[in-house]
Amino acid sequence: MTDDKRYDAVIAGAGPAGSAAAYVLARAGARVMVLDRASFPRDKLCAGLLTWKTTDLVERIYGMGPQALLARGVIEHRADRYRIRHKGMTLACSDLFHPFYFVSRRVIDAWFLDRAREAGAEFRSGEVVTAADATRGEVVTESGDRYQGRFLIGADGAASVVRRAFPLPRAAFAANMGMGLECQVRRDDPDITAAHPDLRENYPTVYSGFVRTGYGWVFPHGAHAVVGLGGLASRKGASMRREFAAFLDFLRLPRRFLGCCKAHLLPYGNFLTHPVHQQALLAGDAAGLVETLFGEGLYYALRSGELAALAVLSGLSGKDACEGYLSGLRQDIYPELSGSLRLRQAIFFSLRFGPLPLWCLLRLGGERLVEMAHGVRSYRWLRRRAAGPGRAG
């Protein structure tokens, strides 16, 4: 292998996890190569909601807060209210102490990658990784090229190729792999006038009752709304499609939207507790690092990418990168994922008896539950974990 294909770190995947890792590494002076099968900007299915903890992390890493991102068009919508329904019954509807922001993954993922490239990371688009060697820190692409790093970061999504190089039972990871289906509804679509009024609101609505373990959503994105359904409906995608069709019927949307919906894998409780092996680390969806109640992934992708980069930097200086990465995950990520999983199990079990238990939880929890979603409080017993943004929003 020629020296021009040897790096301090090779990163498979240029989504938020891979780009955050590349940015942190390149800014510290490491030689980094990022590989992705796609050319950017590219479309990516995602509801696109940013909580306070996500915008706070973006500001800390990149030095740019939500107002600056709004001005640059990276954030496309701000919402100051939220609603939770069980089918047609409103369980909660209130103002937010801090806004939810909404983004297009096509736009924000390209923005993250641009920051990494500006910091000095190299990027190759159209490179489909077909095999990985965790011991050598090496990947092989469809074109036959080999790229080797002192460390390899697998940030290549839920169907990760790098993960296959790990001694992991594939069935265990697949057991809690969920599915999401989404479509977009333009605000000027003539069919929206007869549709459910939630589609015309400027704030998000989350729905229970349409899938046994999961939820539906209508999220505003400026000129359009994203309508989706995700969770562990069954082992068969056809069942989820039927449930999405029922959700569209509830929203009084014509079936043509079912024909244009797209599906994606959704890690939903299958996070890996040991996503390291030899010279390789897994980040983001590749490690299943997605919050297990609402399916929030952007924060955990960015944060795990940052933690992987910091671990690699310590490894380049002679320390144990794998243990450093695991230490960071145990401190900041695993407690939230395990706590949200326990809460999810309790909520969806209680919904078998109707919406009353969830209504009671929302009434008793009040704003503390919203603080939990934003990351101000922990999913573990609602303990405060951050000072938060204050009431100014």
Domain ranges across the chain: 3-47+104-168+271-337, 177-267
Report whether 320 contacts 365 (CB < 8 A): no
Tell me how far apart the alpha carbons of residues 384 and 375 are, in angstroms, rounded to a whole number: 9
Structure tokens at 321: 């990168």
In whole angstroms, what is the distance from residue 283 CA to residue 275 CA? 8
CB atoms under 10 Å from CB of 197, counted, come to: 10
Nearest to 36 by CA among 22, 50, 25: 22
Please tell me the predicted confidence (pLDDT) of residue 393.
40
Q: What is the pLDDT of residue 175?
A: 79
CATH superfamily of 177-267: D-Amino Acid Oxidase, subunit A, domain 2 (3.30.9.10)
Q: What's the chain's length in residues?
A: 393
What's the pLDDT score for residue 283?
98
pTM of the predicted model, to two decimals? 0.95
Dihedral pair phi/psi, residue 92, rounded to 5°: -160, 140
Q: Give tens-digit pLDDT for 133-177.
A: 999 999 999 999 999 999 999 999 999 999 999 998 877 788 778
CA 218, CA 199: separation in Å to the nearest integer?
7
Residues of the chain with pLDDT under 70: 1-4, 233-238, 390-393
* Residue 4 pLDDT: 63
Q: 3-47+104-168+271-337 belongs to which homologous superfamily? A: FAD/NAD(P)-binding domain (3.50.50.60)
pLDDT at position 170, please? 79
Q: What is the pLDDT of residue 173?
A: 82
Give dist(CA 379, CA 218) in Å, integer. 24
The pLDDT value recorded for residue 237 is 54
